[in-house]
Chains A and B, each alone.
Chain A
Amino acid sequence: MDSLARCEPNASSRFDALVARWRAPRTVGFVALALVVALLPLVMVNNYYYDIAILVALNAIVCVGLNLLIGYAGQISLGHAGFFALGAYGSALLASRYGWPPVVALAAATAGVGLVAYIVGRPILRLKGHYLAMATLGFGIIVSIVISTEDGWTGGPDGMPVPPLTLFGFVLQGERTWYWLAGGCLLLAVWIASNLIDSPIGRALRAVHTSEVAAEVAGIDSARHKLLVFVVSAVFAAVAGGLTAYYGGFITPAKASFLHSIELVTMVVFGGMASTLGAVVGAAVLTILPQFLTVLKEYEMVVFGALMMVTMIFFPRGIVPTLGRYLQRRRP
């Protein structure tokens, strides 16, 4: 009897802990996203929908990584299209010129981009605020000019064809196959990111965001943490870049351009900084919206620019955090 009485509260507290863990926002968000990925095919009636969903997922992978850097560590990057393009062109070149198996090429290109980010990141991340923005922007522009100029390797401004992705001898093609691949990769990216955020590293990053000096005083090596998250975000961008190249079968320097970097940052800020789910929502909205705006033809740019301004003026914290606050306030 005695042992049972002692045991019961223990078991229930363990159960409570389990429930609490399952009800944690990150678990709820992950499960919700997994459900969306699983159920979306029920409403997608043709390949056009699948195509857009794949592009959303691939962009979202970049944004989840970039959000770690911008939203959590508070370090801006206006050059992530450079990492995206290096991943894409690296995979394409290794697979087509050197005949490497595409998956190996993707892995090698990703590792290469991680190394580039490590080397570039060390000096660049010493800069702060607008100076960091300029330095990353400069990096992106350098990558983009090199890709456009070295036409013997990259096909120059015309772009280059990319062989299809093969896995264990099977050629991965068709929108439906790619949908599950891209969706799976997105879930993996979100899972990695949310674990990172809840780890000591994530807490250190938030401390760095609030005040670098205070974080250092508390014993956090801020340079090392910033570099780590910079490399992680570059690796996410490289994987998405490589997958985008294989999926599209063709790659152009537009993917390396300043405008693409801006597009990626806009997705993160639009969805809501420091919110992984926000990054996914931002990627979805800004990938889908231009598809609708094409009907506006010559008014497309005006409307897109105006929407960008209006949303950021009225929802400066981004869509998901603003909605979250609204819902919380309505709850008694």
Chain B
Amino acid sequence: MGGQWVQFLAGGLTSGAIYALVALGFSIIFNASRVINFAQGEFVMIGGMSMVSLTALGLPTGVAIAGAVAIAAVVGLLLEKFAIARARGADVVTLIIITIGASIFLRGIAQLVWDKGLHALPPLSGDNPIALFGATIVPQSLWVLGVTVVIVSALSWFFGSTRLGKAMLATSHNRLAAQLVGIDIGIVLFASFGLAAALGAVAGVLIAPITFTSYDVGVMLGLKGFAAAILGGLGSFPGAIAGGLALGLLESFGAGFVSSAYKDVIAFLIMLAVLFFRPDGLLGALRTERV
């Protein structure tokens, strides 16, 4: 009985960590540009698929990971440069449609560069399961959790102690005021897309050995990441992490105790219920509307 709980907890935290990384990407871009980037899931896909190709080329794992993350980051930067920056000032719905167009475009490119098949990646350190409190845990889960913790710490250092990070934070609080103190909003926007894409790619590299990867893996992961970001409170970094973990755990326990076919339904129903009581997410600041 206890083993079952630990098992669901481990599974939920693993997928929750991935959702948290994707949700962080959503929040970083949202803070800089007020855009919901529906192509965020595609960065996860590009990370995973690039990793497959680079590993197949025989590159050492570390180099392959760096390469995969770099490829996704460049795609993110290009997306900002050629699509988002040009449509600045457009309506929210219009911007959503542009990023959806981008996600279809990137999936199409992925289909051409790679194929429509499923691809597997070897885990980072073997696949001998570890027994823990009566549950069996794959080592890759520990990698997912460990790397997520490292990344979250690195991000909090970045936003708290570097010039660019502080500029990004300032922009998210008040864009006009940030501009007035001399922050180049263009660079902040550009950097936020690169950073979000890199985070997505890390998630893609980490999750591929557990779930396989293919050209359309980003659709569902993107939606889950968006759901996590909303659940926690859009634009809040602690909220994105809390939302991601909560979503992962809800899914895992819902699948274990209620029905695996309805695990997403359970997760989304609870998310809706949370929104009814806290319309700005778990950790979102309560807003008042100005006229």
Contacts and interface: CB of A to CB of B under 8 A. Distances in A.
- Best-surrounded residue of A134, A302, A307 (most CB of chain B within 10 A): A134
B262 A145 contact: yes
Chain A interface, >50% SS class: helix
A214 B93 contact: no
Interface in B73-87: 83, 86-87
B279 A131 contact: yes
Nearest to B263: A145
A112 to B, nearest CB: 20
Contacts of B180: none
A303 B281 CA distance: 37
A312 B223 contact: no
A127 interface: yes
A138 B104 contact: no
- Best-surrounded residue of A127, A306, A313 (most CB of chain B within 10 A): A313
Contacts of A138: 227, 268-269, 271-272
A302 B108 contact: yes
A269 interface: yes
Contacts, number: 134
B105 A309 contact: yes
Interface stretch (B52-60, B95-103, B149-157): B95-103
Contact of B268 (A130, A142, A273): A142
Given A262-B100, A265-B97, A134 B230 contact: yes
A316 B102 contact: no
Contacts of A265: 93, 96-97
Contacts of B289: 211-213
- Best-surrounded residue of B98, B104, B261 (most CB of chain A within 10 A): B104
Contacts of B230: 130-131, 134
Given A131-B280, A137-B223, A138-B272, A309 B108 contact: no
Interface stretch (A22-30, A92-100, A101-109, A293-301): A293-301
Given A133-B96, A135-B272, A265-B93, A305 B106 contact: yes
Given A138-B268, A301-B104, A302-B112, A133 B36 contact: yes
Given A128-B279, A309-B98, A134 B262 contact: no
A213 B108 CA distance: 43
A132 to B, nearest CB: 9
Contacts of B176: none
A278 to B, nearest CB: 13
A139 B264 CA distance: 11
A70 B100 CA distance: 17
A139 B30 CA distance: 23
Contacts of A123: 272, 276
Contact of B264 (A145, A213, A300): A145
Interface string A137-153: 11101100110010000
Contacts of A266: 97, 100
Given A127-B279, A213-B289, A312-B90, A299 B98 contact: no
10 contacts: A133-B36, A138-B227, A138-B269, A270-B97, A305-B101, A305-B108, A306-B101, A308-B101, A312-B101, A317-B91
Interface of A: 70, 76, 123-124, 126-131, 133-135, 137-139, 141-142, 145-146, 149, 211-214, 258-259, 262, 265-266, 269-270, 273, 298-309, 312-313, 316-317
